[in-house]
Amino acid sequence: AAGVIQSPRHLIKEKRETATLKCYPIPRHDTVYWYQQGPGQDPQFLISFYEKMQSDKGSIPDRFSAQQFSDYHSELNMSSLELGDSALYFCASSLKADQETQYFGPGTRLLVL
Amino acid sequence: AQSVTQLDSHVSVSEGTPVLLRCNYSSSYSPSLFWYVQHPNKGLQLLLKYTSAATLVKGINGFEAEFKKSETSFHLTKPSAHMSDAAEYFCVVSGGGNKLVFGAGTILRVKS
């Protein structure tokens, strides 16, 4: 079965650079979520989208923005990167009718030097 | 606010022995609860979910969990551990809206 696809899988950036993470949900899933998992930490909810509209917002820094496109894929844009942004970024997707059952992608590991 | 507490940060068992990973939850309403597993350098995989249909929930790979409202617990069990079960396990509660709230995780080690 098709799963959530994230790209790139690994990314190395320097401080103050920008990064764009992409997420392609499971086919027919209309809701996308972003989570951040710092080293040795549990995943923390950042933001979610349904039908291209932001549906919920968590602890997402102002330096980050995200959007969902008409094909339901989503992009997380991160600017003015800081060392503390180094983390594993997960995307998850679900159906609007069953938002609690979220299926996670493999994650993008971001390292900021 | 909804939250979960995983009572053990590390659990070590021998292969073939039972597994018990403990989780207590706090919720102002009847919660939806999940267990996810994360193998090293891999993504999060849904093991099972509780959504009030039945208190004993069976998941994949022989895992099951029992929802006990009186104890506010949702412990994960497996009768016989396998080496491939070594991973980190997260107890998760639906946090209202459509976000998930994760516990701190329990690292399961399986000894041969």
The tens digit of pLDDT for each residue in A28-87 reads: 999 999 999 998 888 999 999 998 899 889 989 999 999 999 999 999 999 999 999 999
Q: Is the pLDDT confidence value at A22 over 90?
A: yes
Residue B54 has a pLDDT of 83
Residue B30 has a pLDDT of 78
- For residue A4, the chain B residue with the least C-alpha distance is B43
B99/A48 Cβ within 8 A: yes
DSSP assignment of chain B equals: --EEEES-SEEEEETTS-EEE-EEEE-SS---EEEEEE-TT--EEEEEEE-SS-SEEE-GGG-EEEEEGGGTEEEEEESS--GGG-EEEEEEEE-STT-EEE---EEEEEE-
Q: Is the pLDDT confidence value at A95 over 80?
A: yes
Average pLDDT over residues A2-28: 95
A100/B51 Cβ within 8 A: yes
pLDDT one-digit tens code per residue, B60-99:
999 999 999 999 999 999 999 999 999 999 999 987 767 8
pLDDT tier at B6, thresholds 50, 70, 90 = very high
Degrees to nearest 5, angle at CA A91 with A89 and A93: 165
Residue B18 has a pLDDT of 98
Which among B34, B99, B105 has CB closest to A45?
A: B99
Distance of residue B78 Cα from the nearest chain A Cα, in angstroms: 22
pLDDT tier at B52, thresholds 50, 70, 90 = confident
More confident residue, B102 or A98: B102
pLDDT tier at B28, thresholds 50, 70, 90 = confident
A45/B101 Cβ within 8 A: yes
Residue A29 has a pLDDT of 92
Spatial distance between the Cα atoms of A54 and A70, rounded to a whole number of angstroms? 13
pLDDT tier at B20, thresholds 50, 70, 90 = very high
Spatial distance between the Cα atoms of B78 and B47, rounded to a whole number of angstroms? 12
Residue A107 touches partner B, C-beta closer than 8 Å? yes
B51/A43 Cβ within 8 A: no
Residue A43 touches partner B, C-beta closer than 8 Å? yes
- For residue A91, the chain B residue with the least C-alpha distance is B43
**Please, which residues 79-98 of chain A have a Cβ atom closer than 8 Å to chain B?**
90, 92, 94
- For residue B31, the chain A residue with the least C-alpha distance is A100
A43/B102 Cβ within 8 A: yes
pLDDT tier at B15, thresholds 50, 70, 90 = very high
Residues of B in contact with A92 (CB under 8 A): 44
